[in-house]
């Protein structure tokens, strides 16, 4: 059984001006997404700026999210690291505070061979009892999970059940789907490729854009799964300008500005993330205005 089907939001983490976590706004965001059809919350991922959190903050944010969600939808906690020992520790702690599943990114900077990835993910998975979704985003990590590697892991490690595919390489996803033959749940990690991945048997998306259009990202997936491919495609094409705007600077700079403009939470970030450039802000505003119903 899939961890979730539909739209999982890669949730931003609200901060105060002094850089501390704003838990009141985090609670508000959780309530917003539960009310607006989001099917799962991914907490402390890239979009949540987990890389700038201390380990204590990281686990506290996961624990608070679990508390706020209160089992209404799955909470998937980012627990990856380029150090296997650290990933194990974070994964165990996330499980202990109630996460329903884990999103584990490939080791970054130091990278890993394909055999290294198999050992890394196997070690992390065997340290916990909850499901793991692997996260393949080579543009950020410099490390690519090859389809054969993903399938080997899914077939040999019982709680490795899914992959967030953000390589942007549709041919690679085609090969993955062909080799997997249903043994691994595939989620789009790119908001502009949701429908293509659904056509390859994908279960949904882990979405940045869902931070501001949660209903439509959910509907995009649900319509496809219900057989309304034309309706799903229409939502995908409608969202392209907005998707482009959300990545006009490195994630999560644009989406943090977007949630601020939409009045959902503060836009404060932790360095080295900085304020969006004026030209980017105008692009984000225009995309939100053109989309309609956000500003």
Residues 141 and 174: beta-carbon distance below 8 Å: no
pLDDT average, residue stretch 181-207:
98
For the chain, what is the mean pLDDT? 97
Supply the pLDDT for residue 218. 98
Residue 203 bears catalytic tag: no
pLDDT average, residue stretch 257-264:
98
Q: Residue 113 pLDDT more than 80? A: yes
Span 212-244, pLDDT tens digits:
999 999 999 999 999 999 999 999 999 999 999
The pTM for the full model equals: 0.97
pLDDT average, residue stretch 181-191:
97
Question: Residue 67: in which H helix or E strand, if any?
Answer: helix 55-69
Span 125-147, pLDDT tens digits:
999 999 999 999 999 999 999 99
Angle at 205 between CA 203 and CA 206, to 5 degrees: 130
Catalytic residue among 121, 135, 268, 291: 135
Residue 164 bears catalytic tag: yes
Span 25-83, pLDDT tens digits:
999 999 999 999 999 999 999 999 999 999 999 999 999 999 999 999 999 999 999 99
Span 151-167, pLDDT tens digits:
999 999 999 999 999 99
Q: What percent of the chain has pLDDT over 70?
A: 100
Residues 42 and 103: beta-carbon distance below 8 Å: yes
Residues 208 and 193: beta-carbon distance below 8 Å: no
Cα(97)–Cα(113) distance, rounded to whole angstroms?
A: 32
| Closest to 284 measured CA to CA, from 253, 254, 262 | 254
Q: Residue 1 pLDDT more than 90? A: no
| Closest to 120 measured CA to CA, from 167, 80, 90, 93 | 80
Confidence band, pLDDT 50/70/90 cuts, at residue 295: confident
Catalytic residue among 164, 203, 257, 283: 164
């Amino acid at each position: 059984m899939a961890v979730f089907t539909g739209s999982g939001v890669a949730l931003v983490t609200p901060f105060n001006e002094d850089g501390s976590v704003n838990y009141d706004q985090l609670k508000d965001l959780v309530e917003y997404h539960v009310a607006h059809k989001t099917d799962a919350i991914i907490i402390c991922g890239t979009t949540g700026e987990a890389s700038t959190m201390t380990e204590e903050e990281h686990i506290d944010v996961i624990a608070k999210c679990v508390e706020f969600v209160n089992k209404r939808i799955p909470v998937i906690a980012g627990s990856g690291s380029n150090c296997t020992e650290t990933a194990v520790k974070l994964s165990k702690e996330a499980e202990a505070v109630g996460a329903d599943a884990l999103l584990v990114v490939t080791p970054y900077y130091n990278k890993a061979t394909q055999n290294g990835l198999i050992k890394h993910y196997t070690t992390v998975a065997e340290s916990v009892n909850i499901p793991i979704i692997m996260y393949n985003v080579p543009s950020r990590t410099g490390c690519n999970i090859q389809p054969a590697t993903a399938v080997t892991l899914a077939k040999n490690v019982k709680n490795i059940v899914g992959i967030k595919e953000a390589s942007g390489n549709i041919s690679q996803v085609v090969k993955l789907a062909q080799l997997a033959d249903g043994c691994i749940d595939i989620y789009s990690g790119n908001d502009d490729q949701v429908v293509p991945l659904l056509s390859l048997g994908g279960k949904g998306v882990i979405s940045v854009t869902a931070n501001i259009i949660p209903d439509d990202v959910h509907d995009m997936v649900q319509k496809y799964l219900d057989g309304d491919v034309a309706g799903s495609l229409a939502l995908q094409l409608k969202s392209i300008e907005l998707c482009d705007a959300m990545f006009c600077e490195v994630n999560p700079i644009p989406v943090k500005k977007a949630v601020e403009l939409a009045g959902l939470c503060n836009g404060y970030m932790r360095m080295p993330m900085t304020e969006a450039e004026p030209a980017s802000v105008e692009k984000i505003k225009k995309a939100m205005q053109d989309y309609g119903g956000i500003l």
